[in-house]
């Protein structure tokens, strides 16, 4: 094992900071991209953990919100904005800052060097830590207090995802887990129970039956598009085999240990030796909706869109992620996005942004947003009865939230690691590369990222 990683590994409690910060489901889905390099990247920012003082500050009357509209959420977000403006008299301009989290992050980083900053920015949970290191966002404690936001009502496991050094750096918004999506009609034709497989070994047994009963499909299962999902969803299989990209709650890289190699050999065999799986070029859920495959993994944020796309074609099923030979639970990571506030804008704009964040994620609006997208309600007091009555499948995502596990540090906190994981898995699944050799190379890359960009800054 890489010695400096072993000796300097941090516990999750020490990484999340001072006493009083909860330990919930951790850092999530997003892309690689710009590094943390920047004016403040030579060390952790020195700041008041509660953030700026808003005594005597009057909120601005107009603010800007940068988003990539996760889960096709632009329309519902505009509805929430209109209601906020009617209530508070504060206008919010919703700007499409990119088509995904990486593009938003790139635009936000570029704006630090010159240009117009947003007042609220969306970022996946693999991005907030980089923004903290770059000293480009504010701690939200005082801002949320001044905006009279009830922070105790957020789901603890989601709210604590954004805590470090005794401070709160973002608020959960479009939060998700991966789900197992499947074609119930294909299952029925194969004589299978109407449920997701409990383990990947069970699915390996089911796959030939599904293929035989549905000969027109291209594949029984499709691994999600690697560039977007490899680092995220494959944690499920790695955890099920008793390993991970890194040791739990540690920067010790384990992607090439015996159990990880066994897990990824199973994945490779699903494509080559056993031949029941393929790899999505763009979207596994789109291919499932088109009837080309029988199952895939996808974000809960895709749920409503999938239901619309499959209506009248086939009956859609969803379930928990399958377990492995070592662990059957918890083997599911959470994912999605939060919202935060830039540092280098006026206090008036920061306060207005905090007021909007509180409104955007209040109990009623988090249910409204969940109903329109498939993302999970982020408030404990949210009344989900109407949501579940209208869409019972949404209940699977909410129930799975109780059996999630913090993401691996290697994916969550190492800048660009997600892209490196995707490239490595692509070579295994599309070029038949050797699993052990590829993962050993990846381990070296991840260790180098840690020592050059993270170690000494936390």
Residues 212 and 266 in one domain: yes
- What pLDDT does residue 127 have? 81
Domain extent for 219: 178-332+409-454
Mean pLDDT calculated for residue range 434-443: 98
118 pLDDT higher than 70 = yes
Residue 306: inside a domain:
yes
Is residue 443, in this structure, part of any structural domain at all? yes
Res. 35 pLDDT band, cuts 50 70 90: very low
pLDDT in the model for residue 13: 34
Q: What is the pLDDT of residues 311-361, one digit of tens each?
A: 999 999 999 999 999 999 999 998 889 999 999 999 999 999 999 999 999
**Contacts of residue 280, Cβ cutoff 8 Å, sequence gap at least 6:** 222, 223, 224, 225, 286, 287, 296
- State the maximum Cα–Cα separation within the chain, in Å, rounded to a whole number: 70
The pLDDT mean for the chain works out to: 88
Higher pLDDT, 114 or 280: 280
- Among 30-39, 212-221, 411-420, name the one with the lowest average pLDDT: 30-39
HEC secondary structure over 175-205: EECEEEEEEHHHHHHCCCCCCCCCEHHHHHH
Q: Does 298 score more than 70 pLDDT? A: yes
160 and 24 in contact (C-beta within 8 Å)?
Answer: yes
Number of domains in the chain: 2
Question: Domain of 303: which CATH number?
Answer: 3.40.190.10
Domain assignment present for 142? yes
Give yes or no: residues 182 and 171 share one domain.
no
Q: Report if pTM > 0.85.
A: no
110 with 221, same domain: the answer is no
Q: How far apart (Å, rounded) are the C-alpha atoms in residues 202 and 285?
A: 21
Domain assignment present for residue 387? The answer is: no
- On whether both 306 and 367 belong to a single domain, the answer is no
Residue 46 pLDDT exceeds 60: no
pLDDT at 134: 87
Residue with tokens 């599911």: 332
Q: Is residue 311 part of a domain?
A: yes
Determine the pLDDT at residue 32: 36
- Looking at the structure, tell me whether residues 115 and 167 fall in a common domain: yes
In residues, how long is the chain? 458
Is a pLDDT exceeding 60 seen at residue 27? Answer: no
155 vs 269, residue with greater confidence: 269
Residues 214-256 have pLDDT tens digits of 999 999 999 999 987 899 999 999 999 999 999 998 999 999 9
Q: Is residue 402 part of a domain?
A: no
């Amino acid at each position: 094992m890489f010695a400096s990683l072993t000796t300097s590994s941090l516990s999750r409690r020490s990484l999340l900071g001072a006493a009083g910060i909860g330990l919930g489901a951790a850092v999530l889905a997003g892309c690689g991209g710009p590094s943390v390099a920047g004016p403040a990247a030579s060390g952790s920012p020195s700041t008041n953990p509660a953030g700026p003082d808003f005594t005597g500050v009057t909120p601005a009357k107009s603010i800007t919100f940068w988003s990539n509209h996760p889960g096709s959420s632009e329309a519902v977000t505009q509805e929430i904005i209109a209601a906020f403006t009617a209530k508070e008299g504060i206008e919010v301009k919703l700007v499409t800052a990119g088509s995904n989290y990486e593009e938003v992050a790139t635009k936000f980083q570029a704006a630090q060097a010159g240009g117009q900053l947003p007042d609220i920015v969306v970022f996946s949970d693999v991005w907030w830590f980089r923004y903290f290191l770059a000293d480009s966002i504010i701690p939200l404690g005082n801002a949320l207090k001044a905006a009279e936001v009830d922070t105790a009502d957020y789901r603890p496991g989601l709210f604590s995802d954004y805590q470090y050094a005794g401070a709160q750096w973002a608020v959960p918004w479009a939060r998700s887990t991966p789900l197992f999506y499947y074609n119930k009609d294909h299952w029925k034709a194969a004589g299978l129970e109407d449920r997701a497989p409990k383990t990947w070994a069970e699915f390996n047994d089911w796959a030939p039956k599904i293929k035989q009963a549905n000969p027109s499909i291209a594949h029984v299962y499709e691994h999600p598009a690697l560039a977007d999902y490899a680092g995220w969803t494959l944690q499920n299989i790695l955890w099920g085999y008793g390993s991970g990209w890194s040791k739990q709650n540690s920067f010790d890289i384990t992607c090439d240990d015996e159990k990880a190699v066994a897990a990824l050999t199973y994945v490779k065999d699903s494509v080559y030796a056993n031949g029941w799986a393929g790899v999505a070029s763009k979207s596994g859920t789109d291919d499932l909706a088109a009837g080309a495959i029988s199952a895939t993994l996808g974000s809960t944020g895709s749920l409503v869109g999938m239901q619309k796309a499959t209506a009248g074609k086939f009956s859609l099923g969803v379930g928990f992620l399958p377990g492995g030979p070592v662990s059957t639970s918890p083997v599911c990571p959470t994912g999605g996005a939060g919202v935060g506030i830039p540092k280098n804008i006026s206090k008036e704009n920061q306060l207005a942004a905090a007021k909007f964040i509180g409104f955007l994620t209040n109990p009623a609006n988090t249910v409204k947003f969940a109903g329109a997208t498939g993302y999970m309600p982020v408030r404990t007091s949210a009344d989900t009865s109407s949501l579940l009555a209208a869409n019972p499948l949404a209940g699977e995502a909410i129930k799975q939230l109780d059996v999630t596990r913090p993401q691996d540090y290697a994916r969550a906190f190492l800048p660009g690691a997600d892209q490196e994981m995707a490239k490595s898995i692509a070579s295994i699944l599309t070029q038949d590369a050797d699993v052990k050799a590829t993962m050993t190379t990846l381990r070296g890359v991840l260790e180098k990222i840690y020592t050059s960009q993270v170690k000494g800054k936390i």
